[in-house]
């Protein structure tokens, strides 16, 4: 074989071999692991919620269902302003309330007259869902939809015919607007409403009425890459509060269980409070999403213009959600113009400025990494993998070595106060307890400890310039697989 042939044979073999290129096999996954659609969802971390409907114009949070569509009259709707604000805030996507509990549809539906086509906006030719979806696409944002199962307008709510209507609505939304990254199902169900003029209270059995198995199958068939959110999952679970705060710990594994008095776990019947921390030994990978509004209400109310959360409050929420392995779904309600209000824009810019200054640089880059143990003593699993910004590479130890430590020696003069830890998610959540020490006055001193790591664990403390950082895996259900240990400095508060 001549040299050229030999070289190309080697190149061919290298191209075929999977990463990491090593004879030391990777660890086996532990417990439930994320599906490919969930892995893509984990990359998003922070995205926005848009609550917009007739409520915006009637100053309500829950419309009764008898609102006249003519009240829906944004004066200067601008989807690009909304999507632009989300991009500036560092968001990866937007989820729009296609239909809230009042039943008014933000898209011209062939299934009802209770929609934007009956409003004066754009002379009845408008489509909020399309404009937002297209603005997202133009700006590289993912797009998702909220479709309220409860419908206080529909005459058949509570009867089988409404479930057919609900599924047909889903079909319109999931076939007409391109790729959808998340489908959001609220747990609020049944109660009083207009119901086609009946004006009465209707109760449904949330575990059986909607036939969720069929509805979930429909979403899978129409948008196989979409994650489905509800208090039940099946892909993403509610964190159990509307404060944007995940539990500490917040395990990705979860077994949705029915509340007392309910027989079946389904959207609206689960023990929502258990979603806050999840279950260490949960049966399924159903990570938490923490939803919260930038204002007190979910919809825009002029009376709340001075009650917008401050940049520092938003940053705290980021650490309490993304920093605990959940995602942060931050609601930005469009105002009566159909744009994000200037006060919200200012708060979001301040929020982004702090996060950008914190995370723009990884102060661990250039550090020397060493570890007490490395899987098979092979560099493919070496400690420097936590520094490369690549979540597909990780530091791992041999099977059965659940306690281990990794030391970073930082280049001189680095001042920091934030640490970011991540596990390699395709191998499941392995770490049960970790601690971090710093080298101070000639000895190791513990500055932090915790339990879950999972998708991400952020730690924030006092600014310091300790030159050495030691991560200790104190307890793990299987040998650790740590994808990231990065080091950051928040801008000092004035």
490: which residues sit within 8 A by CB, 6+ positions away?
354, 357, 358, 417, 418, 460, 463
Half-sphere exposure of 266 (CA within 13 A, CB side): 18
Query: Which residues contact ligand FUL (rule: CB under 6 A)?
Result: 61, 186, 188, 291, 298
- How many of the other CB atoms lie within 10 Å of CB of 206? 22
Q: How far is the CB of 244 from ligand FUL (least distance, A)?
A: 11
Q: How far is the CB of 9 from ligand FUL (least distance, A)?
A: 58
Q: How far is the CB of 229 from ligand FUL (least distance, A)?
A: 10
Q: Are 378 and 393 in contact (CB under 8 A)?
A: no
The string of DSSP letters for 445-466 reads EEEEEES--TT-EEEEEEEE--
Q: DSSP 3-state assignment of 343? A: helix
Cis peptide before 249 (omega within 30 of 0): yes
Q: Are 54 and 100 in contact (CB under 8 A)?
A: no
**Of the two residues 62 and 359, which places its CB atom closer to ligand FUL in the complex?**
62
135: which residues sit within 8 A by CB, 6+ positions away?
79, 80, 82, 83, 141
**Of the two residues 41 and 298, which places its CB atom closer to ligand FUL in the complex?**
298
**Of the two residues 34 and 65, which places its CB atom closer to ligand FUL in the complex?**
65
Q: How far is the CB of 346 from ligand FUL (least distance, A)?
A: 23
**Of the two residues 96 and 367, which places its CB atom closer to ligand FUL in the complex?**
96
Round to whole Å and give the CA distance between 278 and 288.
8
**Of the two residues 333 and 454, which places its CB atom closer to ligand FUL in the complex?**
333
Instruction: Please give the C-alpha separations between residue 218 and each of 162, 171, 174, 183, 483, in angstroms, as whole numbers.
Output: 16, 8, 9, 12, 35
**Of the two residues 67 and 432, which places its CB atom closer to ligand FUL in the complex?**
67
Show the CA angle centred on residue 271, arms to residues 266 and 277, nearest 5°.
115
Q: How far is the CB of 154 from ligand FUL (least distance, A)?
A: 17
**Of the two residues 291 and 344, which places its CB atom closer to ligand FUL in the complex?**
291
The number of helix segments (H) and strand segments (E) in the chain equals 9, 21
Write down the residue that tokens 């939304």 correspond to: 173
Q: Are 468 and 446 in contact (CB under 8 A)?
A: no
Q: How far is the CB of 270 from ligand FUL (least distance, A)?
A: 13
Q: How far is the CB of 149 from ligand FUL (least distance, A)?
A: 11
Show the CA angle centred on residue 79, arms to residues 77 and 80, nearest 5°.
120
The string of DSSP letters for 9-61 reads HHHHHHHHSPSS-SSSPPPPP-S----HHHHHHHTT-EEEEE--STHHHHT-S
Q: How far is the CB of 187 from ligand FUL (least distance, A)?
A: 6
**Of the two residues 53 and 397, which places its CB atom closer to ligand FUL in the complex?**
53
Q: How far is the CB of 188 from ligand FUL (least distance, A)?
A: 4
**Of the two residues 235 and 289, which places its CB atom closer to ligand FUL in the complex?**
289
Q: How far is the CB of 96 from ligand FUL (least distance, A)?
A: 11
**Of the two residues 231 and 432, which places its CB atom closer to ligand FUL in the complex?**
231
**Of the two residues 97 and 277, which places its CB atom closer to ligand FUL in the complex?**
97
Q: How far is the CB of 289 from ligand FUL (least distance, A)?
A: 11
Take residue 265 and report the two structure tokens written for it: 């776990």
**Of the two residues 247 and 268, which places its CB atom closer to ligand FUL in the complex?**
268
Q: For strands 253-254 and 284-285, give the pairing.
A: antiparallel
**Of the two residues 10 and 273, which places its CB atom closer to ligand FUL in the complex?**
273
443: exposed, middle or buried (Cβ count in 10 Å: 0-12, 13-18, 19+): exposed
Q: DSSP 3-state assignment of 1? A: coil
Instruction: Please give the C-alpha separations between residue 228 and each of 206, 220, 243, in angstroms, as whole numbers.
Output: 17, 9, 21
Q: How far is the CB of 51 from ligand FUL (least distance, A)?
A: 6
Q: How far is the CB of 348 from ligand FUL (least distance, A)?
A: 18
The residue number with the shortest CB distance to ligand FUL is: 188
Q: DSSP 3-state assignment of 384? A: helix
N- to C-terminal Cα separation, the chain = 69
């Amino acid at each position: 074989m001549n040299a050229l042939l030999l070289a190309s044979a080697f190149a061919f073999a290298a191209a075929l071999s999977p990463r990491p290129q090593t004879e030391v096999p990777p660890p086996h996954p532990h417990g439930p692991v994320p599906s490919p659609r969930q892995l893509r969802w984990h990359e998003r971390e922070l995205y926005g919620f848009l609550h917009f409907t007739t409520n915006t114009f009637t100053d309500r949070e829950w419309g009764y269902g008898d609102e006249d569509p003519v009240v829906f009259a944004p004066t200067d709707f601008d989807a690009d302003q909304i999507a632009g604000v989300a991009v500036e805030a560092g968001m990866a996507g937007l989820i729009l309330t296609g239909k809230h509990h009042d039943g008014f549809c933000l898209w011209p539906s062939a299934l009802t007259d209770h929609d934007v086509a009956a409003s004066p906006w754009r002379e009845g030719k408008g489509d909020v869902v399309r404009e937002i979806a297209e603005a997202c696409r133009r700006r590289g944002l993912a797009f998702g939809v909220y479709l309220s199962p409860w419908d206080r307008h529909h005459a058949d709510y509570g009867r089988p015919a409404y479930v057919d209507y609900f599924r047909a609505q889903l079909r319109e939304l999931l076939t007409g607007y391109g790729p959808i990254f998340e489908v959001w199902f609220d747990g609020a169900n049944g109660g009083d409403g207009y119901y086609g003029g009946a004006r009465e209270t209707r109760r449904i059995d949330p575990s059986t009425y909607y036939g969720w198995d069929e509805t979930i199958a429909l979403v899978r068939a129409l948008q196989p890459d979409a994650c489905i959110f509800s208090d039940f999952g099946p892909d993403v679970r509610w964190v159990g509060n509307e404060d944007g705060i995940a539990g500490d710990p917040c395990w990705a594994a979860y077994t949705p269980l029915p509340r007392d008095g309910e027989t079946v776990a389904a959207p609206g019947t689960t023990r929502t409070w258990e979603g806050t921390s999840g279950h260490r030994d949960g049966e399924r990978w159903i990570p938490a999403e923490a939803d919260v509004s930038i204002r007190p209400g979910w919809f825009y109310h002029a009376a709340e213009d001075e009650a917008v959360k401050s940049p520092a409050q938003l940053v705290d929420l980021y650490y309490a959600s993304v920093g605990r392995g959940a995602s942060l779904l931050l609601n930005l309600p469009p105002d009566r113009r159909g744009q994000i209000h200037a006060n919200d824009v200012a708060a979001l810019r301040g929020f982004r400025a702090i996060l950008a200054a914190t995370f723009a640089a990884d102060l661990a880059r250039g550090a020397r990494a060493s570890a007490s143990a490395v899987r098979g003593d092979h560099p493919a699993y070496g400690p420097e993998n936590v520094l490369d910004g690549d979540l597909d590479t990780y530091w791992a130890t041999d099977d059965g070595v659940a306690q281990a430590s990794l030391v970073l020696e930082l280049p001189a003069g680095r001042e920091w106060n934030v640490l970011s830890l991540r596990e390699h998610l395709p191998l499941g959540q392995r770490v049960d307890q970790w601690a971090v020490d710093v080298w101070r006055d000639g000895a190791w001193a513990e500055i932090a400890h915790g339990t879950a790591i999972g998708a991400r664990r952020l730690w924030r403390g006092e600014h310091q310039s300790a030159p050495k950082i030691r991560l200790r895996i104190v307890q793990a259900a299987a040998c650790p697989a740590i994808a990231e240990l990065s080091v950051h400095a928040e801008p000092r508060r004035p």
